[in-house]
Structure 1
Amino acid sequence: MPEDKLFKLSGNSPQIMGILNATPDSFSDGGRYLDVSRAMDRIYIMIKNGADIIDIGGESTRPGSDPVSVQEELDRVMPILEKAIPVFKKVDFSIDTSKYEVAKKALESGVKIVNDVSGLQKEPRLADLCGEFDAIYVLMHSQGDPKTMQKNPQYSDVVKDVVTFFEKQLTEAKKRGAHKIILDPGIGFGKTLEHNLRLIAHLDKFRKFSLPILVGASRKSMIGQILDGRPTDDRVTGTIALHYHSMMNGANILRIHDVKEASDSIRIFKAVQSQS
């Protein structure tokens, strides 16, 4: 998918970012795709089912997770990227990292998107890299780090606070040379259930920036909280429902594990929107 297509998105043409975690400990699919051949099979299936972007990460960011070294993260993601990018030319690849060295190696291998859960709070030079490589930067809001972020997160007004965060970090990112930017309010990253629901309900407030909006609520704990402790693998319907609300409120990109189901929901969404 041409990169610039992301910056011509309207509310009725959402894109799918398929998740591939090359980690042993991610909350949903940890340990499944460390092997390159299994990762390649998974990428093929996601593309066949409608993925426009493949987002590959080598460090879990689930609540309570521990960081890994640069070398360990590289060892997990680079063999997959080096094998997959030349094969799957019809999609863009994204690297899910907050480390400069990992992002640089990934961009050199042909990755087009840097998905930074820290929103430049850990490594501002990621914006420099995206400027240098003419890559897309995903600016995500988070409060705290994965190890501690769910320990009593506090906001005066979560929607206004995230808007303020975007205003500040966008200025920094553009100053450093990043001009292709996607916004992600960071569902589940330092937020309570109420915070997450408010962000999805008021997602339209982020349209003021005239930038693509990404939402990633896939199988997250908020769904389990709403559905009486539903386990991770049984949160697909809840995910689709949250993402459908997000599309109605302006989401342009859905970051998701269950690509086929998301693709079906987008087709229904576009059919309805065509009559409105």
Structure 2
Amino acid sequence: MTINCKGELIDLSIPKVMGILNVTPNSFFDGGKYKNEDEIISQVDKMLSEGATFIDIGAYSSKPSAEFVSEQEEIDRIVPAIELILKHFPETLLSIDTFRAEVAKASIESGAAIINDIAAGELDDKMFDVIAKYNVPYIMMHMRGNPQTMQSLTQYDDIVKEMLFYFSEKVKKARSLGINDLILDPGFGFAKTTDQNYEVMQKMELFNLLELPVLAGISRKSMIYKTLDITAQEALNGTTFLNTIALTKGTKILRVHDVKEAVECVALFNKLDL
């Protein structure tokens, strides 16, 4: 199982780690932490040295209470970050966390390798066309509504069955446009209650029926810290545990704030030869 990133085939038969870099002032965990060039370069250097295969840059917080950010402001935040990182680390495979086609276009033209869309095209009907035009890997996440409304849209008859149908329709559309490299993200915390998040986690192996790589984005989320009655800052141990469960169920990419621990998790999992 491989994906083509800027002409480089990335083998996902061994799971990979994607490090999170938020260049937003209000992300739920690390908002405002990386706001100048030195801080961005230092964090990217750290994540790459710890073994990250991908760096995922976000410039628009998707937490439920996040403030609106204009399309131009998102571009103005993200493009300089892309250019800065590639200037210092030209081989870096950058993933861009955006649901806007114009942001995706500007990012790819600036050197990004992957688009990570929390809405799988639902919030911008031009997104699939941009992905098809530039032929980059596309991460499609499951969500209902938008970040402001998603937590009121948690009524499902059979959540995993409905998610499988959602993804199968998205895959069909992408294939019709000639999009080759697709990655599925169950969207933990997006239009799902805590109990629903754990039901999805328990049944994650079912997403392998679609024969596409699956990404798990669990890092320090409320499904961990609310369950344990702790803070996001204290949720690394819980993150590592659930990342391990995700790996046993076939996950190919772990999207995390803490790269070293996730890389160690993958290394130990691989020794088990499950």
Please confirm whether the aligned pair reaches a TM-score higher than 0.5, indicating the same fold. yes
Aligned to 1:242: 242
Q: After superposition, what is the alpha-carbon deviation per residue over 1:22-69, rounded to whole angstroms, capped at 9, x for unaligned?
A: 001100000011212211111010001110000001000012213210
Aligned to 1:45: 46
Residue 124 and residue 177 in structure 1: after superposition, are their counterparts in 2 closer, same or farther (change >3 A)? farther
Identity %: 38
Partner of 2:56, secondary structure, is: strand
Rounded to whole Å, the distance in 2 between the matches of 1:58 and 1:253 is 21
Rounded to whole Å, the distance in 2 between the matches of 1:197 and 1:174 is 30
Unaligned segments of structure 1, at least 5 residues:
none
Say if 2:184 and 2:212, in contact at 8 Å, map to a contact too. yes
Mapping 1:1-276, distance limit 5 Å: 3=5, 5-6=9-10, 8-10=11-13, 13-151=14-152, 153-227=154-228, 229-273=229-273, 276=274
Amino acid at match of 1:270: N
CA shift at 1:86, angstroms? 3.4
Amino acid at match of 2:243: H
CA shift at 1:87, angstroms? 2.6
Partner of 1:50, secondary structure, is: coil
CA shift at 1:76, angstroms? 1.2
Q: After superposition, what is the alpha-carbon deviation per residue over 1:130-170, rounded to whole angstroms, capped at 9, x for unaligned?
A: 22212001010001211121236111111101001001111
CA shift at 1:95, angstroms? 0.6
Unaligned segments of structure 2, at least 5 residues:
none
Regions of 4+ moved over 4 Å = none
Say if 2:21 and 2:58, in contact at 8 Å, map to a contact too. yes
Rounded to whole Å, the distance in 2 between the matches of 1:258 and 1:151 is 30
Q: TM-score, normalised by structure 1?
A: 0.94
Partner of 1:18, secondary structure, is: strand
Residue 5 and residue 241 in structure 1: after superposition, are their counterparts in 2 closer, same or farther (change >3 A)? farther
148-157 or 16-25, which deviates more: 148-157
Cα RMSD over matched residues? 1.5
150-159 or 204-213, which deviates more: 150-159
85-94 or 235-244, which deviates more: 85-94
CA shift at 1:125, angstroms? 2.0
Rounded to whole Å, the distance in 2 between the matches of 1:233 and 1:161 is 33
Rounded to whole Å, the distance in 2 between the matches of 1:124 and 1:165 is 16
CA shift at 1:188, angstroms? 0.5
160-169 or 29-38, which deviates more: 29-38
Q: TM-score, normalised by structure 2?
A: 0.94
Aligned residues: 270
Amino acid at match of 1:9: L
Say if 2:123 and 2:146, in contact at 8 Å, map to a contact too. no
Amino acid at match of 2:233: D
Say if 2:145 and 2:153, in contact at 8 Å, map to a contact too. no
Partner of 1:167, secondary structure, is: helix
Rounded to whole Å, the distance in 2 between the matches of 1:2 and 1:51 is 17
